[in-house]
Chains A and B, each alone.
Chain A
Amino acid sequence: MTGCYDDGALRAGLDSELSAEALRAQQDHLAVCPECRARHAKLKALADQTAALLDIAPPNVPVALAALRRRIDRERLALTGSRSFHPPSLRRSVPMTSTRIWRPWMGWTAALTVVLALLAFPPVRAVADQLLNVFRVQNVVFVPITRERIEQLQQLNFDKQTLFIAPPKQTSGSSEMRTVASLSEAAALVGFTPAQPALPGPRSSAEFAVTDRSTFEFQVNVESARELLRLAGVNDVTLPDALGAAPIVAEMSPAVSARYVGDGYEVMLVQGVSPQVTLPAGVEMQQLGYAALRMLGMEPRQAAALAAQIDWRTTLVFPFPADISSLRQVSVGGSPGLLVSGEHQGERRQSLYWQRGERFYVLAGRGLTVEAFLAMAESVR
Chain B
Amino acid sequence: MAEHESDGALLERLRRGDEAAFEELFVRHYATVYRVLYGLTGRREAAEDAAQETFLILYQRPPASHQPLRPWLCRVALNIARNALRSERRDAARVERAAQAPTAADPSEAAERAEERERVRAALATLPQRQAHLLILRHAGLSYAEVAAALDLAPGSIGTLLARAERAFAEVYARHLSAGRAEQSPGKRVQP
Binding site for B on A (CB under 8 A): 6-13, 15, 17, 43, 46-47, 49-51, 53-59, 61, 64-65, 67-68, 71-72, 85-91, 144, 146, 148-149, 297, 299, 302, 322-323
Contacts and interface: CB of A to CB of B under 8 A. Distances in A.
Interface of B: 12, 14-17, 19, 22-23, 26-27, 30-31, 34-35, 38-39, 47-48, 51-52, 55-56, 59-65, 103, 116, 120, 135-136, 138-139, 143-144, 157-164, 166-167, 169-170, 173
Provide the main secondary structure of the chain B interface: helix
A6 B135 contact: no
Contacts of B34: 59, 64
B158 A86 contact: no
Contacts of B19: 86
Nearest to A301: B12
A199 B158 CA distance: 63
Nearest to B136: A54
A149 B162 CA distance: 34
A88 B17 contact: yes
B144 A54 contact: no
Consensus secondary structure, chain A interface: helix
Lowest 7 CB-CB distances: which A-B pairs, in order?
Answer: A8-B160, A88-B17, A12-B159, A8-B159, A11-B163, A7-B163, A322-B61
B16 A87 contact: yes
B166 A46 contact: yes
Contacts of A87: 14-17, 62
B143 A6 contact: no
B169 A50 contact: yes
Contacts of B162: 8, 11, 47
A64 B15 contact: no
B138 to A, nearest CB: 8
Given A86-B14, A88-B17, A50 B62 contact: no
A44 B171 CA distance: 15
Given A9-B159, A17-B144, A86-B60, A302 B135 contact: no
Nearest to A75: B56
A144 to B, nearest CB: 7
Contact of B163 (A43, A49, A89, A146): A43
